[in-house]
Structure 1
Amino acid sequence: MGLLKLKNINKRYTLDNKETFHVLKDINVSFSKGELVSIIGESGSGKSTLMNLIGGLDSNFEGELFVNDKDINKFSEKELDRYRKNTIGFVFQSCNLIPHLSILDNVTIALTLSNVSKEERIEKAKVALKEVGLEKHIYKKPNQLSGGQRQRVAIARALINNPDIILADEPTGALDSETTEQVLNIIKDIASKGKLVIMVTHSEKVANHSSRVIKILDGKIIEDVQKDKKKVHEVKDELANTSVDKRKEENLSFISAIKLAYNNMKQKLKRNILVSIGVSIGIMSVIAMLALGNGVKSYFSDMIDSFMNPLVVEVSMKQEQSEPTNPAAAMQSMMSTTPFEKENIDELSKLQGVKKVENGFQYITMPGTNKLTYKDKSSDLMVLASMSSVLTKDNVKDGSLPGKNELIVNDSVIKDLGSDVVGKTVTLNAVIDGQPISGDFVISGIYTVGESNQLSDGSNLAYINYSDIETLLSDAGKELKPTMVYLVADNEEDASDLKSTIRDLGYSGSTQETMGDQMLTMLNIVTIVLAGIAGISLLVSSIMILVVLYISVVERTKEIGLLRAIGARNKDIKRIFVSEAFLIGISSGILGTISSFIISILVNKASMNVFDMKVMNITGGYVIIGIGISVIVSMLAGLSPANKASKLDPVDSLRTE
């Protein structure tokens, strides 16, 4: 059996009106190495269809088609791809060179699909181009060559994988007579080195250069003439030593797909830049919203930390929930607290991470119950609380923290008693656990909650040492029981663990901390909502990517057909287009990130001048999220066009003008 044998081949097409057209009828023919065969016939006779069957571009036929004793009609899609890549070399009438690639890259494209190294690809391409006399033009683009030179490039591309069979479809149809002779001499030389060369042509003159001429009419072979029985030569030329190593994995790598995609995108650079800018606006908006929320949260957390010692955990007894019967009862419920018993304090002191336990109290009262008097002025205290390690020097606006028989008040009290009251003695009249007490204390300073004193204004409050109130109650014959306990930890990690532990034990945490957590939760929700709204632009961007890639598929239909003809798998075509989407995504993400940094600098500069705070805080995590979202959105948008490209019929694609 020869290299190629066709046995009882029939091919039918189903037309739009559901009728069947029998294009090839009982084709029986065989071919051997070293033959130069011309298949001639009128248009529509079936010669191009026959070439497509031999080339593995069309596998929907009846009969047996043996190549090296293997019936390709039984090949899987993967085997057909490998067959076209390694056994068949196509030379097309219109050359089908990829215009934006150099001559070198056009020739090496098949090796790129085989994941051959760059050095090996270049070496093999130079050998192939030398065979056709174009070794001095490797870096030119196709539009810089003559028609004959472009056809020789197509021949070099067909030879690069050292195939057994060369299929040439009207290889001289668009050439002048002199160039035709040059191309035919190259083709004859290829056949003389042991290749089977099959040409499809209309020209009797071209057929005269062949060793064998097969005439086909209405789908049947009507004549098969052996003109010149040439001796079949052993393949010992340079190309034989550059054949593709079949042991290598014949897949297009992701890196190679990226490089091909990058070269493709450069041809529509302005369009792709505009798409990237559109996507980057969405990414920039998302990052900006996240940064804005993070900046506000950071400012709020810093403000809380400025008046709360992070190493101190405030603990209150859990209140029993009941439905108040009237407004007065509701007010009483709000102001009352359950005191700690000794067993409660012992339980808390034994918790892991507790360095020290401090007793404390806080009474919220109706106006007139607790008051400070200085000379003829007085101030009703809304809040009377004990000093603890929670308060630091940062909480002192003027003066110092209170010592024995001293107390510290806020600005509201100062307004009532006079600005000169710091350092002066005032009289405290209070009711603690139903016991009236009275004592003289020195105002040591003015209490604040950090740089801003707004949170300490409005409600008159005073902080006093626990021991001082304990002494006053003891003198009145009554014991002071703590209404709250402060747990002092060694480090912030222990303090954080203690907060979780006390909640598990049924105790309550700090009111301020609870309010702060609620505020931070609200800020998180608002941030997510704003980022979600900003993300709507990403949806618009994804549609834009979808449209652009669909346009790209249409523009490059013939290129896709060429890639399929030289062995590209469906997966390879899909990978190239998905890689383009990936490049759009990564460039958009980077551009959006840079833009968001620039905006944050400008916004923070303005906010520092107006509010004395930075309202935007971009973290490394936001950068990763932004770029990640950009890549994911772009690649998802690119899947549909990529699938469309991979499913294009190679024969129909090659016919596209």
Structure 2
Amino acid sequence: MAFLELHDIHKSYFLGKEEFPVLNGIDLNFELGEFVSILGESGGGKSTLMNIIGGLDRNFDGQVIVNGQPLNHKKEKQLDDYRRGMIGYIYQAYNLISHLNIVDNVLVSLNMTDLSNSAKKKRAIELLEKVGLGDQLKKHPNQLSGGQKQRVAIARALASDPEIVIADEPTGALDSKNTAEVLELLENIAADGKLVITVTHSQDVANHGTRIVQLEDGKIGDDTRLKDPFPINDHQPAFKPKILSAAASYRNAFQHLSYNFWRNSLIMLGTAIGLFAVLLFSGLGNGINAFIQNQITSMINPNSVTVLKNPTGKNLSTTELQQSLSQYASDPAKLLITDHQINTLKDIKGVDKVEAGYQFSNFTISYNGKNDTGNSLQTWTKAYASDTVKTGHAPKNNEIVIDKSQAVALTGQKNYKDLLGKNIKLTFAWVDKDNNPVQVTGNLKVVGFANGGQSSAITATNYSTMRNLLTDANGVTQANFASVNVKDATKVKSVSKKIRMTKENGKYIFGAITVGDILDTVNQYVSIASIVLASIAGISLVVSALMIIVSMYMSVSERTKEIGILRALGERKKDIRRLFTAESILIGLFSAVLSLVLAYGGALILNHILYNIVKFNMVQISWGNVVFTFVVALIISFLAALLPARRASRLNPIDALSAD
């Protein structure tokens, strides 16, 4: 039984509805050890027959039987396996992959075997030495002569130890010396027990084999045996074919990326700039959040809960409470807390201390004819952090702590400390028991400076002093807030909830604000701003994705022949898709690394500049930001490659091989 059988092979091409027959009932048998030359003129169907034998052409009628097993050309997977394990191709145009050196060109085929990496490289080098290229191993195809390129093609064809070697006009582009050497190599391959089928239009080349098959007008014109086939060795392959691994695809993608480094570096830089902006804005958002938290917690005791009167009687969130308080600002009598209600707070489990207090939204302080206004005057409680007063001490009776910024406004930047120990006049508006306005004034001794800044300037007296001032002005003396100190910092939220749920006559009477509530609100606004800024920066990522898409389409166009070569060697459509998505993912990965370098460099510069102003690192890039950036980069690059990769995988191998 013949090793390879062709039965009644018919093949036609169509131009519209018009049929052009190419093969008209081909019947041929081939044995291992033969060196068969298929001889014929151009257009006679030689290449079409070769593509059918090689498992590249699937659209024909007839049957191909290999080693007694029918080959189903309708099943793409079976054809991929067949080409991978059974066929070796040698082309007139060499069809080497330009961005790979000659060892890697041979390894392309060996990567689809179960050999170890070291064994693959060893076999590639041995094959190249066998064809006389042992001293050219580091060269790329464009550094070789035509004869040397064909030798590389022969070494690659033999790499997977195929049973059938198909040579398409293997000497068509060679001089007589190289032709003789290539024919000798082909003869040696047949002598090793392989089936060598050469397609040629040269009678001299055909005479070199063991058999000539004349193909005329799509039919067998003559079948002449020149000599007996070479004896078949009892050869057992040392390895088996296997599908291409993902690692091999990524390695090939990296090699192509490196070969076109400068062009790809521009794409990576463009993508990196977009990622850098997103990363930097995210880090800036983190820094601002941390700065605000630092500022607030440095002034406010985190164990403290600020309790306010709930004027609505409804269960309100912190935001709703603040909105309702602003509506009752003109009627402060409805925001007063009774002594009984203060005692109610003391009975709540987890409460350490309750301090009644006063807070007013507008006031004026005066010294030596100069005035300064503020928007937050209140009594000193345990709500303030221990280091709130930067210079001096907390206020006692008839004393006041003012903000550094207020002291500077009254005396000047250089002399503000001279105000320490001096008396200033405090003036603010309040109401009497009939809710009529009264003006409260008092002369208080400055005993300390806080440093809350312009937006959170601190002005405070103690409770006794404030109550006396209100009494002297005939103002109501009921507290309008209470400061609750919680024993355990971990219980602040639960105590705050209990305070909000306290009822009197069926109505909720308290609202509660914690440091966490303040931070949550502020951080929410900062996060929104950061997201908006990052989204604006993200527009550049869309541009980057388009750049990657264009680059991948260019790559597919440039590598069309390579795609045909890889398919002919047995790579699946999936492998081709993965080759291009792998290259795009590598672009995304390197872009993310570059963006990280740029972001940390930018953060160092900005932090150096801003630290002199706010004494705080305002850009804080977290590991979460870094991970997010890498994930975004990989997702964008993967999605950008999907369409080009799909297009590459769907290319017809025959058309791809014939591309310029």
TM-score of the superposed pair, with normalisation by structure 2: 0.84
For residues 626 and 646 of structure 1, the distance between their equivalents in structure 2, rounded to whole angstroms, comes to: 29
Which secondary structure state, in structure 2, belongs to the residue aligned with residue 616 of structure 1?
A: coil
Are 1:360 and 2:391 counterparts? Answer: no
Equivalent pair of 2:440/2:469 in contact (CA under 8 Å): no
Equivalent pair of 2:85/2:240 in contact (CA under 8 Å): no
For residues 503 and 304 of structure 1, the distance between their equivalents in structure 2, rounded to whole angstroms, comes to: 23
- Post-superposition Cα deviations, 1:16-39, rounded to whole Å, max 9, x if no partner, equal x33222211111111111111111
Change (3 A) 1:118 1:57: same
- Once the two structures are superposed, the pairs formed by residues 246-325 of structure 1 within 5 Å of their partners are 246=241, 250-320=242-312
Aligned with residue 633 of structure 2, among 624, 627, 630:
630
Q: CA deviation at 1:581?
A: 0.8
- Once the two structures are superposed, the pairs formed by residues 427-576 of structure 1 within 5 Å of their partners are 443=445, 445-446=447-448, 448-450=450-452, 452=453, 455-456=456-457, 462-465=460-463, 469=467, 483-491=481-489, 493-495=490-492, 498-499=495-496, 507-510=510-513, 517-576=520-579
Change (3 A) 1:534 1:168: same
Change (3 A) 1:650 1:489: farther
**Aligned position for 2:505:** none
Amino acid at match of 2:581: V
**Aligned position for 1:117:** 116
**Aligned position for 1:152:** 151
Q: CA deviation at 1:341?
A: 7.4
Change (3 A) 1:134 1:374: closer
Which deviates more from structure 2 when the two are superposed, residues 339-348 or residues 203-212? 339-348
Q: CA deviation at 1:364?
A: 3.4
- Post-superposition Cα deviations, 1:400-445, rounded to whole Å, max 9, x if no partner, equal 1134x35434359978999758376999998786799999997462
Change (3 A) 1:481 1:536: closer
Amino acid at match of 2:357: F
Which secondary structure state, in structure 2, belongs to the residue aligned with residue 168 of structure 1?
A: strand
**Aligned position for 1:399:** 392
Amino acid at match of 1:402: P
Equivalent pair of 1:315/1:487 in contact (CA under 8 Å): no
Change (3 A) 1:503 1:278: farther
- Post-superposition Cα deviations, 1:301-346, rounded to whole Å, max 9, x if no partner, equal 2222221112222233433079xxxx99954435632526768866
Change (3 A) 1:101 1:524: same
Which secondary structure state, in structure 1, belongs to the residue aligned with residue 184 of structure 2?
A: helix
Aligned with residue 585 of structure 2, among 564, 582, 604:
582
Q: CA deviation at 1:454?
A: 5.2
Q: CA deviation at 1:654?
A: 0.9
Aligned with residue 594 of structure 1, among 588, 592, 597:
597
Q: CA deviation at 1:76?
A: 2.2
Are 1:639 and 2:642 counterparts? Answer: yes
Q: CA deviation at 1:217?
A: 1.3
For residues 187 and 213 of structure 1, the distance between their equivalents in structure 2, rounded to whole angstroms, comes to: 15
Q: CA deviation at 1:51?
A: 0.6
- Post-superposition Cα deviations, 1:553-572, rounded to whole Å, max 9, x if no partner, equal 11111111111100111111
Equivalent pair of 1:381/1:462 in contact (CA under 8 Å): no
Equivalent pair of 1:10/1:27 in contact (CA under 8 Å): yes
**Aligned position for 1:232:** 231
Equivalent pair of 1:335/1:363 in contact (CA under 8 Å): no
**Aligned position for 1:604:** 607
**Aligned position for 2:319:** none
Structure 2 unaligned spans of 5+:
315-324, 503-507
Structure 1 unaligned spans of 5+:
none
Which deviates more from structure 2 when the two are superposed, residues 308-317 or residues 592-601? 308-317
For residues 609 and 368 of structure 2, the distance between their equivalents in structure 1, rounded to whole angstroms, comes to: 48
Q: CA deviation at 1:514?
A: 5.5
Which deviates more from structure 2 when the two are superposed, residues 378-387 or residues 78-87? 378-387
Equivalent pair of 2:289/2:526 in contact (CA under 8 Å): yes
Equivalent pair of 2:338/2:479 in contact (CA under 8 Å): yes
Which secondary structure state, in structure 1, belongs to the residue aligned with residue 335 of structure 2?
A: coil
For residues 146 and 437 of structure 1, the distance between their equivalents in structure 2, rounded to whole angstroms, comes to: 102
Q: CA deviation at 1:149?
A: 2.5
Which secondary structure state, in structure 1, belongs to the residue aligned with residue 8 of structure 2?
A: strand
Equivalent pair of 1:35/1:232 in contact (CA under 8 Å): no
Equivalent pair of 1:2/1:68 in contact (CA under 8 Å): yes
Equivalent pair of 1:410/1:447 in contact (CA under 8 Å): yes
Which deviates more from structure 2 when the two are superposed, residues 135-144 or residues 100-109? 135-144
Equivalent pair of 1:91/1:155 in contact (CA under 8 Å): yes
Q: CA deviation at 1:161?
A: 1.1
Amino acid at match of 2:492: A
Equivalent pair of 2:467/2:477 in contact (CA under 8 Å): no
Which secondary structure state, in structure 1, belongs to the residue aligned with residue 111 of structure 2?
A: helix
Equivalent pair of 1:319/1:338 in contact (CA under 8 Å): no
For residues 550 and 375 of structure 1, the distance between their equivalents in structure 2, rounded to whole angstroms, comes to: 77
Which deviates more from structure 2 when the two are superposed, residues 283-292 or residues 31-40? 283-292
- Post-superposition Cα deviations, 1:476-526, rounded to whole Å, max 9, x if no partner, equal 9x99678424132433x4435555665677652339876654443222222
Which deviates more from structure 2 when the two are superposed, residues 355-364 or residues 524-533? 355-364
Change (3 A) 1:628 1:116: farther
Are 1:139 and 2:134 counterparts? Answer: no
Taking only the aligned residue pairs, the percentage that are identical comes to 35
- Once the two structures are superposed, the pairs formed by residues 199-214 of structure 1 within 5 Å of their partners are 199-214=198-213
**Aligned position for 2:10:** 10
Amino acid at match of 1:526: A
Amino acid at match of 2:229: K
Which deviates more from structure 2 when the two are superposed, residues 59-68 or residues 383-392? 383-392
Amino acid at match of 2:276: M
Amino acid at match of 1:316: L
- Post-superposition Cα deviations, 1:529-585, rounded to whole Å, max 9, x if no partner, equal 111111111111111111122111111111111111001111111111111111111
Change (3 A) 1:384 1:36: closer
Equivalent pair of 2:561/2:656 in contact (CA under 8 Å): yes
Equivalent pair of 1:35/1:230 in contact (CA under 8 Å): yes
**Aligned position for 1:180:** 179
Which secondary structure state, in structure 1, belongs to the residue aligned with residue 269 of structure 2?
A: helix
For residues 200 and 314 of structure 1, the distance between their equivalents in structure 2, rounded to whole angstroms, comes to: 93
For residues 449 and 598 of structure 1, the distance between their equivalents in structure 2, rounded to whole angstroms, comes to: 32
For residues 150 and 369 of structure 2, the distance between their equivalents in structure 1, rounded to whole angstroms, comes to: 110
Change (3 A) 1:600 1:375: closer
Equivalent pair of 1:83/1:567 in contact (CA under 8 Å): yes
Change (3 A) 1:228 1:312: same
Which secondary structure state, in structure 2, belongs to the residue aligned with residue 510 of structure 1?
A: strand
For residues 423 and 617 of structure 1, the distance between their equivalents in structure 2, rounded to whole angstroms, comes to: 42
For residues 106 and 368 of structure 2, the distance between their equivalents in structure 1, rounded to whole angstroms, comes to: 102
Report how many residues are paired. Answer: 632
Amino acid at match of 2:461: Y
Amino acid at match of 2:240: D
Change (3 A) 1:407 1:70: farther
Change (3 A) 1:406 1:344: closer
Which secondary structure state, in structure 2, belongs to the residue aligned with residue 60 of structure 1?
A: coil
Equivalent pair of 1:447/1:456 in contact (CA under 8 Å): no
